[in-house]
Structure 1
Protein backbone atom coordinates (compact mmCIF):
# COMPACT_ATOMS: atom_id res chain seq x y z
CA UNK A 1 0.00 0.00 0.00
CA UNK A 2 1.31 3.44 -0.88
CA UNK A 3 1.32 6.39 1.49
CA UNK A 4 2.19 10.07 1.18
CA UNK A 5 5.52 9.37 2.89
CA UNK A 6 6.45 6.45 0.61
CA UNK A 7 5.58 8.49 -2.49
CA UNK A 8 7.60 11.49 -1.25
CA UNK A 9 10.54 9.19 -0.51
CA UNK A 10 10.38 7.70 -4.02
CA UNK A 11 10.06 11.05 -5.79
CA UNK A 12 12.84 12.59 -3.71
CA UNK A 13 15.25 10.52 -5.82
CA UNK A 14 14.40 12.89 -8.72
CA UNK A 15 15.69 15.80 -6.63
CA UNK A 16 18.89 14.14 -5.46
CA UNK A 17 19.98 12.92 -8.90
CA UNK A 18 19.27 9.28 -8.08
CA UNK A 19 17.03 8.71 -11.10
CA UNK A 20 18.08 5.05 -11.34
CA UNK A 21 16.56 4.43 -7.89
CA UNK A 22 13.36 6.21 -8.91
CA UNK A 23 13.03 4.27 -12.17
CA UNK A 24 13.71 0.96 -10.39
CA UNK A 25 10.17 1.39 -9.00
CA UNK A 26 8.67 2.04 -12.47
CA UNK A 27 7.31 -0.98 -14.32
CA UNK A 28 9.13 -1.88 -17.54
CA UNK A 29 5.78 -1.82 -19.35
CA UNK A 30 4.53 1.41 -17.76
CA UNK A 31 1.89 3.37 -19.67
CA UNK A 32 3.22 6.95 -19.46
CA UNK A 33 1.39 9.80 -21.15
CA UNK A 34 3.01 13.23 -21.31
CA UNK A 35 0.25 15.73 -21.97
CA UNK A 36 0.69 18.83 -24.10
CA UNK A 37 1.65 20.01 -27.56
CA UNK A 38 5.45 19.98 -27.30
CA UNK A 39 8.07 17.58 -28.71
CA UNK A 40 8.10 15.40 -25.56
CA UNK A 41 4.31 14.95 -25.48
CA UNK A 42 2.93 11.55 -26.33
CA UNK A 43 2.07 8.12 -25.02
CA UNK A 44 4.97 5.87 -24.09
CA UNK A 45 4.33 2.15 -23.60
CA UNK A 46 7.62 1.23 -21.90
CA UNK A 47 9.94 2.72 -19.30
CA UNK A 48 12.82 2.57 -21.78
CA UNK A 49 10.86 4.50 -24.43
CA UNK A 50 9.77 7.15 -21.91
CA UNK A 51 13.25 7.69 -20.42
CA UNK A 52 14.93 7.84 -23.83
CA UNK A 53 12.38 10.26 -25.31
CA UNK A 54 12.03 12.61 -22.33
CA UNK A 55 14.56 12.42 -19.49
CA UNK A 56 17.61 11.67 -21.64
CA UNK A 57 16.60 14.32 -24.18
CA UNK A 58 16.14 16.95 -21.47
CA UNK A 59 19.38 15.90 -19.75
CA UNK A 60 21.22 17.03 -22.89
CA UNK A 61 19.87 20.61 -22.65
CA UNK A 62 19.89 21.12 -18.86
CA UNK A 63 23.12 21.77 -16.97
CA UNK A 64 22.09 19.66 -13.98
CA UNK A 65 19.90 17.27 -15.95
CA UNK A 66 16.32 16.76 -14.87
CA UNK A 67 16.04 17.77 -11.19
CA UNK A 68 12.53 17.81 -9.72
CA UNK A 69 11.45 18.93 -6.25
CA UNK A 70 8.20 17.65 -4.78
CA UNK A 71 5.86 20.40 -3.58
CA UNK A 72 2.78 18.36 -2.71
CA UNK A 73 1.56 14.77 -2.69
CA UNK A 74 -2.01 13.56 -2.43
CA UNK A 75 -2.76 9.84 -2.16
CA UNK A 76 -6.03 7.98 -2.59
CA UNK A 77 -6.04 4.20 -2.74
CA UNK A 78 -3.38 3.21 -5.34
CA UNK A 79 -3.13 6.65 -6.98
CA UNK A 80 -0.89 9.57 -6.10
CA UNK A 81 -1.03 13.12 -7.43
CA UNK A 82 2.45 14.62 -7.28
CA UNK A 83 3.07 18.33 -7.86
CA UNK A 84 6.70 19.20 -8.61
CA UNK A 85 8.89 22.00 -9.86
CA UNK A 86 12.08 21.92 -11.90
CA UNK A 87 15.32 23.03 -10.26
CA UNK A 88 17.33 22.96 -13.50
CA UNK A 89 19.08 25.56 -15.64
CA UNK A 90 19.28 25.33 -19.44
CA UNK A 91 22.60 25.27 -21.26
CA UNK A 92 22.00 28.90 -22.32
CA UNK A 93 21.88 29.93 -18.64
CA UNK A 94 18.12 30.47 -18.42
CA UNK A 95 16.29 28.84 -15.51
CA UNK A 96 14.00 25.99 -16.53
CA UNK A 97 11.24 26.90 -14.07
CA UNK A 98 8.78 24.27 -15.17
CA UNK A 99 5.98 22.94 -13.00
CA UNK A 100 4.67 19.41 -13.17
CA UNK A 101 1.66 17.48 -12.03
CA UNK A 102 1.88 13.72 -12.37
CA UNK A 103 -1.06 11.44 -11.68
CA UNK A 104 0.59 8.13 -10.82
CA UNK A 105 -1.06 4.73 -10.42
CA UNK A 106 0.73 2.03 -8.45
CA UNK A 107 0.36 -1.75 -8.39
CA UNK A 108 2.34 -3.68 -5.78
CA UNK A 109 4.30 -0.50 -5.01
CA UNK A 110 5.43 -0.19 -8.64
CA UNK A 111 4.47 2.72 -10.94
CA UNK A 112 2.34 1.25 -13.74
CA UNK A 113 0.66 4.33 -15.21
CA UNK A 114 1.39 8.06 -15.31
CA UNK A 115 -0.31 11.11 -16.81
CA UNK A 116 2.16 13.98 -16.69
CA UNK A 117 1.19 17.62 -17.15
CA UNK A 118 3.89 20.23 -17.89
CA UNK A 119 4.24 23.74 -19.30
CA UNK A 120 4.28 22.91 -23.03
CA UNK A 121 5.53 26.34 -24.12
CA UNK A 122 8.49 26.20 -21.74
CA UNK A 123 9.48 22.70 -22.88
CA UNK A 124 9.31 23.83 -26.51
CA UNK A 125 11.40 26.92 -25.74
CA UNK A 126 14.15 25.07 -23.84
CA UNK A 127 14.49 22.53 -26.66
CA UNK A 128 14.41 25.18 -29.40
CA UNK A 129 17.05 27.33 -27.69
CA UNK A 130 19.41 24.59 -26.47
CA UNK A 131 19.12 21.48 -28.62
CA UNK A 132 21.62 20.94 -31.41
CA UNK A 133 21.17 18.39 -34.17
Structure 2
Protein backbone atom coordinates (compact mmCIF):
# COMPACT_ATOMS: atom_id res chain seq x y z
CA UNK A 1 0.00 0.00 0.00
CA UNK A 2 1.23 3.49 -0.88
CA UNK A 3 1.64 5.90 2.06
CA UNK A 4 2.40 9.61 1.86
CA UNK A 5 4.44 10.95 4.78
CA UNK A 6 3.20 14.51 4.27
CA UNK A 7 -0.14 16.09 3.46
CA UNK A 8 0.06 17.55 -0.01
CA UNK A 9 -1.16 21.14 -0.33
CA UNK A 10 -1.73 23.58 -3.16
CA UNK A 11 0.95 26.05 -2.03
CA UNK A 12 3.67 23.39 -2.08
CA UNK A 13 2.68 22.02 -5.48
CA UNK A 14 2.27 25.51 -7.00
CA UNK A 15 5.80 26.45 -5.81
CA UNK A 16 7.24 23.38 -7.52
CA UNK A 17 5.38 23.81 -10.80
CA UNK A 18 6.04 27.57 -10.98
CA UNK A 19 9.70 26.65 -11.48
CA UNK A 20 8.72 25.42 -14.97
CA UNK A 21 7.26 28.83 -15.79
CA UNK A 22 10.50 30.56 -14.80
CA UNK A 23 12.80 28.36 -16.92
CA UNK A 24 14.09 26.62 -13.78
CA UNK A 25 13.53 23.11 -15.10
CA UNK A 26 16.58 21.67 -13.31
CA UNK A 27 15.20 22.99 -10.02
CA UNK A 28 11.79 21.47 -10.80
CA UNK A 29 13.32 18.06 -11.41
CA UNK A 30 14.86 18.07 -7.91
CA UNK A 31 11.27 17.41 -6.78
CA UNK A 32 10.94 14.37 -9.05
CA UNK A 33 11.98 10.96 -7.72
CA UNK A 34 14.91 9.39 -9.58
CA UNK A 35 12.78 6.27 -10.18
CA UNK A 36 9.66 8.10 -11.32
CA UNK A 37 7.28 6.29 -13.65
CA UNK A 38 6.23 8.89 -16.22
CA UNK A 39 3.64 8.05 -18.87
CA UNK A 40 3.34 10.50 -21.74
CA UNK A 41 0.06 9.71 -23.40
CA UNK A 42 -0.65 10.11 -27.10
CA UNK A 43 0.59 9.16 -30.53
CA UNK A 44 3.59 11.43 -31.05
CA UNK A 45 7.39 11.10 -30.91
CA UNK A 46 7.55 11.80 -27.14
CA UNK A 47 4.79 9.36 -26.13
CA UNK A 48 5.71 6.37 -24.02
CA UNK A 49 6.41 5.18 -20.52
CA UNK A 50 9.66 6.28 -18.90
CA UNK A 51 10.94 4.36 -15.89
CA UNK A 52 13.27 6.96 -14.41
CA UNK A 53 13.85 10.69 -14.31
CA UNK A 54 16.96 10.69 -16.52
CA UNK A 55 15.20 8.79 -19.31
CA UNK A 56 12.17 11.08 -19.16
CA UNK A 57 14.24 14.28 -19.24
CA UNK A 58 16.43 13.13 -22.13
CA UNK A 59 13.55 11.80 -24.22
CA UNK A 60 11.10 14.66 -23.70
CA UNK A 61 12.46 17.94 -22.33
CA UNK A 62 15.83 17.25 -23.99
CA UNK A 63 14.28 16.45 -27.34
CA UNK A 64 12.00 19.49 -27.23
CA UNK A 65 14.98 21.71 -26.33
CA UNK A 66 16.43 20.91 -29.77
CA UNK A 67 13.41 22.45 -31.54
CA UNK A 68 12.47 25.23 -29.12
CA UNK A 69 14.07 28.62 -28.56
CA UNK A 70 16.41 29.26 -25.64
CA UNK A 71 14.70 28.36 -22.39
CA UNK A 72 13.24 25.18 -23.86
CA UNK A 73 10.04 23.97 -22.27
CA UNK A 74 8.30 26.77 -20.36
CA UNK A 75 4.96 25.86 -18.76
CA UNK A 76 2.47 28.07 -16.90
CA UNK A 77 0.03 26.57 -14.40
CA UNK A 78 -3.57 27.32 -15.39
CA UNK A 79 -5.40 25.10 -12.89
CA UNK A 80 -4.40 22.94 -9.96
CA UNK A 81 -6.39 20.41 -7.96
CA UNK A 82 -5.12 18.36 -5.02
CA UNK A 83 -6.81 15.08 -4.14
CA UNK A 84 -4.97 13.14 -1.44
CA UNK A 85 -1.47 12.33 -2.77
CA UNK A 86 -2.40 13.46 -6.31
CA UNK A 87 -1.93 16.83 -7.95
CA UNK A 88 -3.82 17.41 -11.18
CA UNK A 89 -2.02 20.23 -12.94
CA UNK A 90 -3.28 21.89 -16.11
CA UNK A 91 -0.63 23.98 -17.88
CA UNK A 92 -0.07 25.82 -21.11
CA UNK A 93 3.17 26.28 -22.97
CA UNK A 94 4.86 29.68 -23.14
CA UNK A 95 7.59 28.29 -25.40
CA UNK A 96 8.40 29.23 -28.99
CA UNK A 97 9.90 27.11 -31.73
CA UNK A 98 13.26 27.96 -33.27
CA UNK A 99 11.32 29.26 -36.28
CA UNK A 100 9.61 31.76 -33.93
CA UNK A 101 6.12 30.24 -33.85
CA UNK A 102 4.43 29.85 -30.48
CA UNK A 103 4.40 26.26 -29.21
CA UNK A 104 0.82 26.74 -28.09
CA UNK A 105 0.34 23.42 -26.34
CA UNK A 106 -1.79 22.50 -23.35
CA UNK A 107 -0.86 19.90 -20.78
CA UNK A 108 -2.59 18.00 -18.03
CA UNK A 109 -0.34 16.10 -15.65
CA UNK A 110 -1.71 13.82 -12.97
CA UNK A 111 1.17 13.59 -10.52
CA UNK A 112 1.29 11.25 -7.56
CA UNK A 113 3.51 12.46 -4.72
CA UNK A 114 5.39 10.34 -2.22
CA UNK A 115 7.38 11.95 0.58
CA UNK A 116 7.25 15.36 -1.06
CA UNK A 117 8.51 14.15 -4.44
CA UNK A 118 6.72 13.30 -7.66
CA UNK A 119 6.75 9.50 -7.90
CA UNK A 120 4.40 8.85 -10.81
CA UNK A 121 2.93 10.96 -13.62
CA UNK A 122 0.41 10.49 -16.38
CA UNK A 123 0.80 13.37 -18.84
CA UNK A 124 -1.60 14.40 -21.59
CA UNK A 125 -0.61 16.75 -24.45
CA UNK A 126 -1.75 17.69 -27.95
CA UNK A 127 -0.22 14.80 -29.92
CA UNK A 128 -0.62 16.38 -33.35
CA UNK A 129 1.03 19.63 -32.24
CA UNK A 130 3.99 17.84 -30.63
CA UNK A 131 4.56 15.76 -33.76
CA UNK A 132 4.30 18.82 -36.02
CA UNK A 133 6.70 20.92 -33.93
CA UNK A 134 9.31 18.16 -33.79
CA UNK A 135 9.03 17.31 -37.49
CA UNK A 136 8.93 20.96 -38.66
CA UNK A 137 11.80 22.24 -36.54
CA UNK A 138 14.25 19.35 -36.33
CA UNK A 139 16.41 20.68 -39.17
CA UNK A 140 16.66 24.29 -37.96
Give me the TM-score of the superposition, normalised by structure 2.
0.93
Runs of 4+ in 1 over 4 A off after TM superposition: none
Which position in structure 2 is the counterpart of 1:87?
94
For 1:26 and 1:65, how far apart are their aligned partners in 2?
18
How much is the aligned-residue C-alpha RMSD, in angstroms? 1.0
Which position in structure 1 is the counterpart of 2:13?
7
Report Cα offsets for 1:56-82 as digits up to 9, x if no partner.
110111113100000010001100100
| Structure 1: tracts of 5 or more residues without a match | none
For 2:96 and 2:28, how far apart are their aligned partners in 1?
21
1:106 to partner: Cα distance: 0.2
For 1:106 and 1:91, how far apart are their aligned partners in 2?
34
For 1:112 and 1:69, how far apart are their aligned partners in 2?
21
Listed as ranges, the matches of 1:1-133 within 5 Å are: 1-63=7-69, 64-132=71-139
1:104 to partner: Cα distance: 0.2
Q: How many residues align?
A: 133
For 1:44 and 1:53, how far apart are their aligned partners in 2?
9
